[in-house]
Amino acid sequence: KQEVTQIPAALSVPEGENLVLNCSFTDSAIYNLQWFRQDPGKGLTSLLLIQSSQREQTSGRLNASLDKSSGRSTLYIAASQPGDSATYLCAGPGGDKLIFGTGTRLQVFP
């Protein structure tokens, strides 16, 4: 059974810092992993999808990596901004299912 864990649970940083959010999963036989962002009271917005054949994906200031052998994915946020404040969730498949971690709540202050 796939279990997904995210560390840290919460993070508060000043603007401009480079950040690393961590996601661990138990079933290494995954074929993709997806990162989402959720603003308070809103739905989930897809940030990046990494297929198992890929090691990383980049979108703007975001870079996500996938290491199946260690069961880990990291989301790197460069030069953080107050607008990055949100909860970040990773989701790994358990078969056809998307299993979510509990998220990292990020606050970037000016």
Partner 1 sequence: DAGVIQSPRHEVTEMGQEVTLRCKPISGHNSLFWYRQTMMRGLELLIYFNNNVPIDDSGMPEDRFSAKMPNASFSTLKIQPSEPRDSAVYFCASRLRGVTMNTEAFFGQGTRLTVV
When the beta carbons of 39 and 67 are compared against partner 1, the nearer one is 39
How many Cα atoms within 13 Å fall on the side-chain side of residue 33?
34
> How many Cβ atoms from other residues are within 10 Å of residue 36's Cβ?
20
**CB nearer to partner 1: pick between 1 and 83:** 1
Q: Which is nearer to partner 1, 71 or 93 (CB)?
A: 93
State the nearest-atom distance from the C-beta of 35 to partner 1, in Å.
10
Cα–Cα distance for residue pair 87/39, rounded to 1 Å: 6
Closest CB to partner 1 among residues 30, 80: 30
Task: Give dist(CA 25, CA 107) in Å, integer.
Answer: 24
Min CB(50)–partner 1 separation in Å: 10
Residue 5 phi, psi dihedral angles, 5° rounding: -125, 140
Contact residues for partner 1 (CB under 8 A)? 31-32, 34, 36, 42-46, 49, 51-53, 89, 91, 93, 95-100, 102-103
